[in-house]
Structure 1
Amino acid sequence: MVDLYIYYKVRDEHAQQLGPRVRAMQAALAAQAGVSGTVKRRPGALDGRQTWMEIYLATPDGFGNALAAALEHAGLDQFTDGPRHTEVFTDISTCA
């Protein structure tokens, strides 16, 4: 399993519209794929743009496909400014 950290830019004027849509998408993903997500934002804004981050921990195989379908269904692209960037992390093994 891997943890996903997905960040992207949001124009200030779209933040109030995007927030509920991201949370609804995450609720649907939790029901469908069993992965609860969180959404955070960097404090402040630069040039009228905020940085947001979605976090999905311990995602199973195939979650990326479920996330892509959920994104398309939710239509979040109309409220983001630029691409989504995904960082993937795994746990550090304690075995040698």
Structure 2
Amino acid sequence: MMNCYIYFKADSGLEADILKAEKQLQQLLMSRHQICGRVQRRPAVAGVPHTWMEVYHNVPSGFDILLNRVLEQTLFADLQYSERHIEYFLDVDVCV
């Protein structure tokens, strides 16, 4: 299993809309696929778009395809924001 990190930028004026879309996305992922994510945002800087981060632990292979299908059914479909950058990482145990 892998961990998935997704970040994107959106105008600070979209914060309320992004939060609604994230809530909808997280509820759909949990109810349909039993995947629970976390949402984070960088601290606000005046005049700079917000950077958002979604974090998903222990996702299956092909998670990005599953996620894209769910995204099409959320409020994200109508929002203007930057490209979503998706990265996967594996845990490495160095405490042995």
TM-score category (smaller protein): 0.7 to 0.9
Give the letter aligned to residue 84 of structure 1.
Answer: R
Alignment of 1:1-96 (within 5 A): 1-45=1-45, 47-93=47-93
Q: What RMSD, in angstroms, separates the aligned Cα atoms of the two structures?
A: 1.7
Cα separation, 2, equivalents of 1:80 and 1:10? 7
TM-score, normalised relative to structure 2: 0.85
Size of the aligned set, in residue pairs, is 94
Cα separation, 2, equivalents of 1:77 and 1:47? 24
User: Are the structure 2 counterparts of residues 80 and 2 from structure 1 closer, same or farther at C-alpha, using a change threshold of 3 Å?
Assistant: farther
Q: Percent identity?
A: 30
Alpha-carbon deviations, 1:38-89, whole Å to 9, x = none? 1100001363310000011100234222201111111415334221111110
Q: Secondary structure at the match of 2:92?
A: coil
Q: Secondary structure at the match of 1:55?
A: strand
Give structure 2 stretches of 5+ with no counterpart.
Answer: none
Alpha-carbon deviations, 1:12-51, whole Å to 9, x = none? 1111111011111111101111110111000013633100
Give the letter aligned to residue 19 of structure 1.
Answer: L
